Structure 1
Amino acid sequence: MLIPASILAQSQNLQDSAWIRDNYTKTETYIPMRDGIKLFTTIYAPRDKTEKHPVLMNRTPYSCAPYGSTRWRNLWDPYWRYYFREGYIIVLQDVRGRWMSEGNFEDVRPFNKNKKGKETDEASDTYDTIDWLLANVAGNNGRVGVFGISYPGFYSTMAAASGHPALKAVSPQAPVTDWFMGDDFHHNGALSLMDGFNFYAGGFGYPRPLPTTVGPRNALIIPRNDNYQTFLNIGALPNFMKLTGDSIAFWKDLYNHPNYDSFWMARDARTAMFNIKPAMLVVGGLFDAEDCFGAWNLYKAIEKQSPGTDNRLVMGPWFHGQWGGRGDGSSLGNIRFGSRTSEWYQNQVELPFFNYHLKGKGTMDSLAEATIFFTGRNEWQTFKTWPPANSRQRSLYLLPNGLLAWTKPLSAKAGTTYTSNPAKPVPYTEDVHFNRTREYMTDDQRFASRRPDVITFQTEALDRDLTLGGVLTADLHVAISSTDADFVVKLIDVFPDEFVYADDHEEDKDYPMGGYQMLVRGEIMRGKFRKSFSNPVPFKPNQPDQVTFNLPDVAHTFKKGHRLMIQIQSSWFPLMDRNPQQFMNIYQAKDSDFKPAEITILHDSMHPSAIILPVLE
């Protein structure tokens, strides 16, 4: 009789749990920082005394619970158990001002390059923690690594900037990097309304005056059945502020800094990426709805600002944190990737990376500069540089009648017009739900194609494979009837009408994959920032203008017989906040300020709108 996989996994977890408890100790302590503030730290240390052990640390604002020396975190469930088997000293720490640590918390605390005396930042807190661990944890081998996903990815980045000589390897994963340009809460100046409001008002943003083991509770009572209608009913951004009141500091900061000013510039983690000493492994997901920008762009910043650093990049076909034990990485939504990509990464990339740098075990010969999973062809590819040396920027032009071609338009005057109505914004997904889905990153876009406020351009069926790898740029020529508008550009893979997965099981046939319009990349640009994110400027109504912006890097093969599609729209709700389509501070807009606008995407010989694709040759 076959034993179900779930039962086998549960049995393995019980064995790992028993082994770890038998072979490790748990200690809780406070570690003093240079300014006297103490940070709560949990240390899981091996009982084995026959050899020295490396330290692997995770600094987090999300708690190193459970608290109490006899209560253990389920670290045997995710792939952390591999590090226990390897004999690592595992350290978890509540960052300054969170949970049981002392001090005041500050979101994405700015890096202080020229610290003096007892001045602190997240880099110095990491430095002081490492110093204490090396002096007080018996049996360590003097080598330390730091890793973390999402917000802990930001703290990993700051650790890399600490300059501590014992810090040998750091892996920022889905790292929070720039919260205005592309991570989590803004994309090109547009507010990620649903994520931002749910994150801060959902509990994270509420103050914690004293150290505590009890997390904050969401006191807001709002409908939780249909996020599209709920967020539309709440209305303009000041109405969201009325719901939260003055209790959430960073939510107020968002409203007080509508443009890319010194506040945001100081919170760009890339400003710390100079003279980086430890080996770096930057990891991210191609379909990470939160910090895809951070992974691509942190890697590039290290390459540019610390060219001598051993800096490597891995991007898999994952949602946010999926590679860290939240699924095997074989699929996302309706799209399949053909292998258990998360497990491959864990065993073939991350564990060997830390083993080599912290234990002197194995080699780095098999780990390339860039290890990237290409969807469509569903294969891992390795490169000596990213973007790849054989990537060529080629313009694919928008033409009349919804066509795309490699040649410029010849028409003297041509454009496609749609009406953008903020009262009926384009939804980001077809489904009805309250929480933002992670699957929308590969969702079928046929629902959007059918709307009159979404315009569509596509190629003929491809006569050969087309592989894209690198920076993707939208270069639009526009004319609008108002003084501001948003521009959402989506890169879509249109499957053949007869497409089915070869290994379809009966239960998989409910969703029609023939003609599927897979979202490969999508990004928004707030039009008023087209010339400057610091000094926005209005459009002149009905006058031609140019809007150019980058989408997150792409790694995808459009297979022979597929079509490449571009969709353009001016709302993406409630994923992103609505634009009143009047030039103003949107954080101060009233419900009455939201007006329909006529949007024209020009595509003639004088105004050749195009999508600039990174074609691998």
Structure 2
Amino acid sequence: MKKWLLLLAGLFFLAPAFAGQINADSLWFREHYTKKEVYIPMRDGVRLFTSVYLPKDQSEKHPVLMTRTPYSCAPYGEQEYSPLYRRYLNAYLRENYIIVTQDVRGRWMSEGVFEDVRPFNPNKKTDKDIDEASDTYDTIDWLVKNLHGNNGNVGVFGISYPGFYSTMAALSNHPALKAVSPQAPVTDWFQGDDFHHNGAFMLADAFSFYTSFGKPRPKPTTVGPTGFEFPNRDNYKFYLETGALSNFTRIMGDSILFWKDLMTHGNYDGWWRARNVRNFTKNVKPVILTVGGTFDAEDCFGAWSTYKAIEHLSPGTNNRLVMGPWYHGQWASLDGTHLGNVQFGSNTAAWYQQNIEIPFFNYYLKGKGKEPAIAEATIFFTGENQWRQLPKWPMAEATQAIYLGANGQLSFSKPTAAKSATEYTSDPAKPVPYTEDVHFSRTINYMTDDQRFASRRPDVLVFQTDVLSEDVTLAGPVVADLFASISSTDADFVVKIIDVFPDNFRYTEDVESEHRRVPSITYPMGGFQMLVRGEIMRGKFRNSFEKPVPFVPNVASEVKFTLPDVAHTFTKGHRIMVQIQSSWFPIADRNPQQFMDIYTAKDSDFRKAQIRILHEASHPSRILLPILK
């Protein structure tokens, strides 16, 4: 608390200076840019509303930098300017980029019908065969032919859903499109992005998002939808008392089309395959810079997966990856120094902006400077708090198994006992919370939160190593390979990889700014259990996402799944901990712990289950770690 009081005091001291700078930047923006609003025709006759900021400078021709979004290109009106100057995007204004933002088909002021993650159509034959790639192609074609003073080079970037549209832009292959940066891009909403993780439904994000975003827009509008009025400020309480998913469907009603799609496509079927961007990243022509956060609570999966898919299906593409220690979109913020209680030792966001993204677009769109020396993979490793410039990703050549053992032991030695297991009761009426304390909405900090609250619960298994005698660095995906015996026909499995700090650990931070220095702050973090990576697996999908199968009660079954990639160093003196549980609420919905269609389950369908995790010679539960030698 003292730390934040000091920071707030510093910000209060600086407020007049910041306000003056913002006013100056706002005035400069209006003096140097003209805003135009245009409707750009698509090949099928639909027109898309587009906001264009044109530099008044005529000394040279300027590149176009575009974002396509379902979240509005507000403010509307040619006299209403977006406060781009308040963010690092001010650097692009000073470089005289033509800044373009477009409402995608069927959203806000654009014409047409919106479709969530509209499938890519690789076999377009007529002007009626449209997708987001064709809409991007038609937009770029219009821009380079109609915007005065453009240099014929176009770049596209966007975060989250606009990251999906950036990937679609890359698939358009318009010759003027030179550089694309999908950032935390929506990639596969069944296996790893916002709304499912390994088949488990991510309840809190899906419900809070679609109760507003999913509302129909019958005609173009500048007025956004209203959100759901939650009855209380405790999201754990609200989601638990609302109950089974079928109750949430009743709240949604009939008008939220994509919610109905989510509820009727409970397995990974052809409908989902058509919406898996990874299937279509072939012959990509532009230079690609994929960006994401290793602690992105909304989409830790998309950036890793998009980069790997392009590497696999389009090996000739100039394809680069940047992953920092960020929450969703933190790389575009002013402060990349920390997440929750975990400090990064520097402003990682500013470093990325100044050393990676801005030079990337300046070179490929303006021809400015030398080709930036961006490594194949630029990855920030927490724990050691260092950027590493790597020739490939994942970096680890192979995995090393670390085994669960009796009495909470975690070691690199395979178990030898003939019979050994640890058991817990999973009760859907009392699910394990994803974070401590009471919250109204899903936090951005839980990806690094202290896990001591969970380790004290009887329905969370805890395994940890002895104190490490040397650093252990993970550089790639972690694989959980469990052997479980359950009393029911289905269950979820949550595996968490945790860095346990020494009991006497203390952190000292210098808080500085351009204008004023706040004195150093020291605060204890002894025993802190930092979540490094957590992931859930819906057990019935353990063999196939397409064809789920029940468990045979009380018979050992292998549950093997991949967690999103990790870039972290467990330093000497720390411990590695693994926690296992069967609920992660309310970010993931509760499993009734019966083999059934969970989307139609009733409150009466939920059952307790006895979960036994085996750690014996014939069933050695283990975690496969991508250890960097």
TM over 0.5: yes
Mapping 1:452-531, distance limit 5 Å: 452-503=458-509, 512-531=524-543
Pairwise CA RMSD of aligned residues?
1.5
Alpha-carbon deviation of 1:512?
Answer: 4.8
Paired with 1:221 and 1:468, the residues of 2 have a C-alpha distance of 42
Paired with 2:535 and 2:520, the residues of 1 have a C-alpha distance of 30
Mapping 1:201-600, distance limit 5 Å: 201=211, 203-218=212-227, 220-325=228-333, 327-388=334-395, 390-503=396-509, 512-600=524-612
Paired with 2:364 and 2:321, the residues of 1 have a C-alpha distance of 16
Q: 591, 604, 607: which is aligned to 2:616? A: 604
Name the residue aligned to 1:8.
Answer: 17
Matched, 1:108 2:120: no
Matched, 1:134 2:160: no
Paired with 2:343 and 2:16, the residues of 1 have a C-alpha distance of 25
Cα shift readout 1:32-61 (whole Å, capped 9, x = no counterpart): 000000000010010111100000000000
**One-letter code aligned to 1:295:** A
SS in structure 2 of the partner of residue 263 of structure 1? helix
- Residue pair 1:391, 1:469 contacting (<8 A) in 2 also: no
Name the residue aligned to 1:76.
Answer: 85
Alpha-carbon deviation of 1:224?
Answer: 3.0
**One-letter code aligned to 2:365:** L
Cα shift readout 1:321-372 (whole Å, capped 9, x = no counterpart): 01112x4110000100000000000010000000010011122342111000
Q: 173, 188, 191: which is aligned to 2:201? A: 191
Paired with 2:183 and 2:12, the residues of 1 have a C-alpha distance of 35
Paired with 2:157 and 2:481, the residues of 1 have a C-alpha distance of 37
SS in structure 2 of the partner of residue 224 of structure 1? coil
Paired with 2:566 and 2:420, the residues of 1 have a C-alpha distance of 29
Name the residue aligned to 1:56.
Answer: 65
- Residue pair 2:504, 2:524 contacting (<8 A) in 1 also: no
Alpha-carbon deviation of 1:96?
Answer: 0.1
**One-letter code aligned to 1:497:** D
Paired with 2:315 and 2:624, the residues of 1 have a C-alpha distance of 27
Paired with 1:555 and 1:187, the residues of 2 have a C-alpha distance of 20
TM-score by length of 1: 0.98
The percentage of counterpart residues that share the same residue type is: 66
Matched, 1:98 2:107: yes
**One-letter code aligned to 1:561:** G
- Residue pair 2:203, 2:589 contacting (<8 A) in 1 also: yes
**One-letter code aligned to 1:361:** K
SS in structure 2 of the partner of residue 204 of structure 1? coil
Unaligned runs of 5+ in 1: none
- Residue pair 1:158, 1:272 contacting (<8 A) in 2 also: no
- Residue pair 1:400, 1:414 contacting (<8 A) in 2 also: yes
Q: 156, 167, 179: which is aligned to 2:177? A: 167
Alpha-carbon deviation of 1:444?
Answer: 0.3
**One-letter code aligned to 1:198:** S
Name the residue aligned to 1:151.
Answer: 161
Q: 27, 41, 45: which is aligned to 1:36? A: 45
Unaligned runs of 5+ in 2: 1-9, 512-517
Name the residue aligned to 2:7.
Answer: none
- Residue pair 2:507, 2:524 contacting (<8 A) in 1 also: no
Cα shift readout 1:84-103 (whole Å, capped 9, x = no counterpart): 10010000000000000000
Distance 1:64 1:365, change over 3 A: closer
**One-letter code aligned to 1:23:** H
- Per mean C-alpha deviation after superposition, the further-off stretch among 604-613 and 265-274 is 265-274
- Residue pair 1:111, 1:271 contacting (<8 A) in 2 also: no
Paired with 1:601 and 1:486, the residues of 2 have a C-alpha distance of 13
Distance 1:503 1:79, change over 3 A: closer
- Residue pair 1:391, 1:470 contacting (<8 A) in 2 also: no
Alpha-carbon deviation of 1:189?
Answer: 0.5
TM-score by length of 2: 0.96
**One-letter code aligned to 1:452:** P
Paired with 1:564 and 1:163, the residues of 2 have a C-alpha distance of 46
Aligned length: 613
Cα shift readout 1:162-204 (whole Å, capped 9, x = no counterpart): 0100000000000000000010010000011000000001x10
- Residue pair 2:508, 2:522 contacting (<8 A) in 1 also: no
SS in structure 1 of the partner of residue 627 of structure 2? strand
